Amino acid sequence: MLIKIKGPGEVTESEVTSQDLYLDRRRFLRLGAGSLLTAAALSNEIWQPALAGNKLAHVIKGPYTVDEPLTPYESVTTYNNFYEFGTDKEDPSRLAASLKARPWKVIIDGEVARPGSYDIDDLIKPHTLQERVYRLRCVEAWSMVIPWVGVPLADLLKRFTPNSRAKFVRFETLYDPKQFPGQRRSVLDWPYIEGLRIDEAMHPLTLMAVGLYGEVLPNQNGAPLRLVVPWKYGFKSIKSIVRITLTEQMPVNTWARSAPDEYGFYANVNPQVDHPRWSQAKERRIGDYFKRETLMFNGYGAEVAPLYSGMNLRKSF
């Protein structure tokens, strides 16, 4: 069993010390460069997450973590799939400055009692931010271990009172080719769409992330709001969300629409089902030389397998 469930504050210092030292060095360099705005934000004890790299205040240790080495911050922020910026792994970090993460509105609509358009900070501010160390598994057989900071999606959705017709949750990424140069090419059918069943969305593991490594989410990692579903492949982690719709019908998500023979709606990590162009049986953790066995549901089977009881997970991939 590779996952431990801990109470707030039970993560040991040894799990994060080396990365804290690294982040301290980065903050020192920013201050040395004369960034007075950043310096003020780092010392501010209120919710003020406007700039990527600012420290997030009042973050508690969440109930989920994995006892595995963390992927270095530099790798997490420079090796990404984010086709809105480009198809190369380095494109997001190279081009991310074009995205303006504030001001930012998120529409909540569909089968809810309180639909509306909400400022991102008003949407997140009432919640306590949690840090959770999750694996993120990508379909191309690589993986990372990242300390995400965010809010359980269930907590956010409950504020808007979903009704009995809400069977699915549909997510939509910002469409703006001026900010996303990758959207100027027809690589995918923009805007990017993703979806979950309502029970998946309400599962306590599902997170709406606003940060990583204790800092505001960088643009290249999906600022200002992204989905993290740790038992699914990383392409299910939609980024830069501007709309969340609760619906009675299953959404047609982007990859299932673009390549239905290769990508299904569920995207559950299942090492027994190969992608048509590569095996899913093993993965390489970023920074490692050797591959490791891929775990069913990315190692979260004890928590989520009951969601799929009776389903054919070869057919529903």
CA dist 214 and 70 (Å) reads 13
Identify whether 118 is part of a domain.
Answer: yes
Count the alpha carbons within 13 Å of 128 in the hemisphere toward its beta carbon: 9
Strand-pairing partners, residue 65, are 4
**Averaged over 27-41, what is the pLDDT?**
37
CA dist 44 and 56 (Å) reads 9
Identify whether 314 is part of a domain.
Answer: no
Q: Are 281 and 270 in contact (CB under 8 A)?
A: no
CA dist 266 and 200 (Å) reads 10
Domain that holds residue 210: 3-308
For 153-236, strand residue ranges (E) read 168-173, 193-197, 207-212, 215-216, 226-228
Judge whether residue 8 has pLDDT over 60: no
**Averaged over 55-59, what is the pLDDT?**
93
Please tell me which of 1-15, 45-59, 102-116 the model is most confident about, judged by mean pLDDT.
Answer: 102-116
> Residue 147: how many CB atoms within 10 A of its CB?
24
CA dist 31 and 264 (Å) reads 46
Phi-psi map region of 267: left, alpha, beta (phi>0 left; psi -120 to 50 alpha) = left
- CATH code, domain with 167: 3.90.420.10
Domain count, the chain: 1
146 membership: H or E segment, kind and range: strand 142-152
- Exposed e or buried b per residue across 77-108, where buried means at least 16 C-beta atoms within 10 angstroms of its C-beta: bebbbbbbbbeeeebbbebbeebebeebebeb
Identify whether 316 is part of a domain.
Answer: no
Judge whether residue 4 has pLDDT over 50: no
> Residue 75: how many CB atoms within 10 A of its CB?
14
pLDDT band per the 50, 70, 90 thresholds, residue 125: very high
| pTM recorded for the entire structure | 0.85
The per-residue pLDDT for 51 is 75
The per-residue pLDDT for 43 is 34
Question: What does R_g of the chain's alpha carbons equal in angstroms?
Answer: 19
Identify whether 317 is part of a domain.
Answer: no
Which residue, 225, 235, 75, 216, is CA-closest to 146?
75
pLDDT band per the 50, 70, 90 thresholds, residue 52: confident
Judge whether residue 126 has pLDDT over 60: yes
CA dist 72 and 157 (Å) reads 32
Identify whether 174 is part of a domain.
Answer: yes
Identify whether 12 is part of a domain.
Answer: yes
Identify whether 191 is part of a domain.
Answer: yes
Q: Long-range contacts for 255-260 (Cβ within 8 Å, ≥24 apart)?
A: 257/189, 257/193, 258/188, 258/189
Greatest alpha-carbon span in the chain: 59
CA dist 129 and 150 (Å) reads 5
Query: Percent of the chain at pLDDT above 70?
Result: 84
Judge whether residue 28 has pLDDT over 60: no
What is the residue-averaged pLDDT of the chain?
88
CA dist 179 and 175 (Å) reads 9
Better pLDDT: 168 or 32: 168
Identify whether 315 is part of a domain.
Answer: no
pLDDT digits (tens, 9 = 90+) for 201-260: 999 999 999 999 999 999 999 999 999 999 999 999 999 999 999 999 999 999 999 999
Judge whether residue 123 has pLDDT over 50: yes
For residue 129, CA distances in Å to 173, 227, 256 come to 22, 14, 32
Judge whether residue 46 has pLDDT over 50: no
Judge whether residue 63 has pLDDT over 80: yes
